[in-house]
């Protein structure tokens, strides 16, 4: 399904607006704007456009997931702490029938016990974690393959 105007939604949850200053030893030095720029450039090079958003509010993220269902070819979501708490976000993602990837900068499975459970994972096609800001580009490549229904090498 390669189309020139393929839109990919990249949704970011709470506190990700603080990237670059919040615990850089865990989340890295790149700001969310740095990541947005890199993802947008990479998407353009692959014939796609990106709708890149961040909110600290669960309901706003749910609204955007529902919006993506009708406007996007695929969805990347870094739900932040809502990963571990939001059944509502899980339910919204379950209703969206486009390819979806859950993304985390850190390896949530190597962190505190409460971070090791994801309500989001059962509602998406894939999970990428622990690659820092590079994870966004990895997720973009993987999502485009899922959209295009191309096998992974």
Ramachandran class of 130: left when φ > 0, alpha when ψ lies in -120 to 50, beta otherwise: left
57 is catalytic: no
Rounded to whole angstroms, how far apart are CA atoms 7 and 148? 13
**What dihedral do alpha carbons 112, 52, 54, 116 form, nearest 10°?**
-10
The answer to whether residues 92 and 66 touch, using CB atoms and an 8 Å cutoff, is yes
Residue in 9, 82, 90, 104 annotated catalytic: 104
Rounded to whole angstroms, how far apart are CA atoms 45 and 18? 27
27 is catalytic: yes
For residue 76, give both structure tokens: 């990347």
Residue in 27, 82, 119, 136 annotated catalytic: 27
Rounded to whole angstroms, how far apart are CA atoms 34 and 62? 24
Residues known to be catalytic: 27, 104
């Amino acid at each position: 399904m390669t189309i020139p105007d393929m839109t990919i939604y990249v949704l970011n949850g709470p506190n990700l607006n603080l990237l670059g200053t919040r615990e850089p030893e865990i989340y890295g030095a790149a700001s969310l704007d740095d990541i947005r720029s890199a993802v947008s450039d990479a998407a353009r090079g692959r014939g796609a456009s990106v709708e890149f958003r961040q909110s600290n509010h669960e309901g706003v993220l749910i609204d955007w997931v529902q919006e993506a269902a009708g406007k996007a070819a695929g969805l990347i979501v870094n739900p932040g702490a809502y990963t571990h708490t939001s059944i509502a976000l899980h339910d919204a993602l379950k209703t969206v029938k486009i390819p979806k990837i859950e993304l985390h900068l850190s390896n949530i499975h190597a962190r505190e016990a409460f971070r090791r459970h994801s309500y989001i994972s059962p509602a998406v096609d894939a999970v990428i974690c622990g690659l820092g800001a590079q994870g966004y580009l990895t997720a973009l490549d993987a999502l485009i393959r899922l959209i295009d229904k191309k096998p992974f090498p």
